[in-house]
Structure 1
Amino acid sequence: MDGNFILITVLVATMLGMAIIAFAGPSPEKARKRRVAMIRGRHSDSAEALLEARMRKAISNRSTGAEAKMLVSLIPNPENLTKRIRMTGKKWTLSQYMTASAGIFLVLSAFLMVRGFPFLMAVMVGMAAALFLPHWWVSRLIKQRINRFNAKFPDALELLTRGLRSGLPIAETLGIVSSEIPGPVGEEFKLITERIKIGKTMEQALQETADRLGTPEFQFFVITLAIQRETGGNLAETLSNLATVLRQRAQMKLKIRAMSSESKASAYIIGCLPFLVFFMICYINFNYMSPFFTPDPAGIFGLSLMQVIGIGGMCWMAIGAFIMAQMVNFEI
């Protein structure tokens, strides 16, 4: 039997096993029994039953760490990765993230080896894709969610202003915003109201959301409320002015993006075209590009002349891409 076929079979079986481990949840019968026990303990008058219900809830909310331990243990800083995943608004876990990375690595490595690429190169390309693609996708989801939040946040401030002018307290207006504004704004304000209900102060609830979002717009809102609670004043008028400022910031960002779109498109095309052509030639005729991957013991540090030229070209392209990125990056 062909060795490549055996290798691909093992890689596919490993990927399917990890996917089953990561995405498999508890059985419906166990979930039903757990919910019944929690409801029974919550409505019991016994102090022991109440304590047991609280402990069960704390254990259920705690991450078990039993899901794909081997994959999760490879993460150098799981706290930061968990925070990034939460910023996407998705209910993903670290095990699912690492399973997706492992699946990309296995599929791409197997595909490249079938196409005749060297084993070491196929593994290195697969590892690079497994590290880069999930990180890029999470960053893209975070950016999209923050943009949708910033687009609706001035509307939330206007709604807060109208509620305060009608005589409602700030805590109740936060609840109205959570139910009336759709999307990430409503979700974040709902989390704020839930934290306030369980005993946290408003400043703590707002600061936790500000730390998770990491946007200057929401940080302005938190600072405005903190200053108003210390010094007093017309909060409705302050929030109305803040909404106007945030709308003007959004308009300025759109204007800058429109003015720099041509430069960004040129940078993307110039930066991606050499790599696309290189990989297309490797895919069509790898033997033609094989001298590029062949070391030369008599060369510089064991590298051939083609490899030295390629590394130098990538360094100059990286410098040019950095300069172009700084030219179109404006702080507002």
Structure 2
Amino acid sequence: MTESPRTPQSPFRLSTVILPHRRWHEGARESWVRAEDLGFHTAYTYDHLSWRVPFRDGPWFGAVPTLTAAATATERLRLGTLVTSPNFRHPVTLAKELISLDDISCGRITLGIGAGGTGFDATALASAGQEPWTPRERADRFAEFVPLLDRLLTEDTVTYDGAFYSAGGAQNIPGCVQRPRLPFAVAATGPRGLKLAARHGQAWVTTGDPKLFESGTPEQSVQAIRGQIEKLTAACDAIGRDVAGLDKILLSGFTPDRARPLDSVDAFVDFAGVHRDLGFTEIVLHWPIPDTPFAADQKVFEAIATDALAQLG
């Protein structure tokens, strides 16, 4: 297998995630263009077939077409998924779409990728009465999915016959604009996922510890995330990789203090400083959506985008 790329640790960065819940010509396009104007490093979107309440029964658009449109509407902004999963994706077809998207964007795509969960994505393609995959089954598929996708994005022709996926002479010429392939940002907290991040990732993604979401404290969250980074470090050490060469991304909005970072620029600087000191190189903020868990003052959000990094030093 072609050795995966290794990205040097980057300066601290601020990115956003724009949910695909609006029609492109009814406000969605303007958000992606505005994200570039505000200087965000990357604008990601969720890759789901649908999502939880309050979005579950409303408009929701596909990630790849949305990113394709965003690529044509922007010039400098990096773009990506946060995250794609095997729940409804196959490595062969996903690789073809990613190579095309990387080409259209002139090499601005990052693939956020994770094992997936038990929500709508896990049942939309299932037979009637079929139960969602267990955590172990999701981990088994993820462990096969990521290395195969790595090969598909770095080799001209791939033949593979695995337990869950196969490729019969799948051709992916000319490959990615980014060489040897576009970067993977692997979302993981368990031992198997962290091994995949260490071996195949250019970045690692976490949302914190979900067990602390409802009743934990910010201090408990920091301690839990510190433990995740220690486990990531051990996974890198086991294969002789320097963990400093792996970017570390925090998707905010899921820690116990989830609302506070968007209260003011100062509040965000405090939050970001704590997590930068843990080793994070990138924090991702949800683009504000009124009357949802991601509601925030748009003016404060934009002030954070333009002013916070300078205050962090």
How would you bin the TM-score normalised by the shorter chain?
Answer: under 0.3
RCO (CA 8 Å, sep 6+): is it higher in 1 or 2?
2
Q: Structure 1 length as normaliser, TM-score?
A: 0.20
Judging by fraction of residues, say which structure has more strand.
Answer: 2
Please tell me whether Structure 1 or Structure 2 has the larger radius of gyration of its CA atoms.
Answer: 1
TM-score (norm 2): 0.21
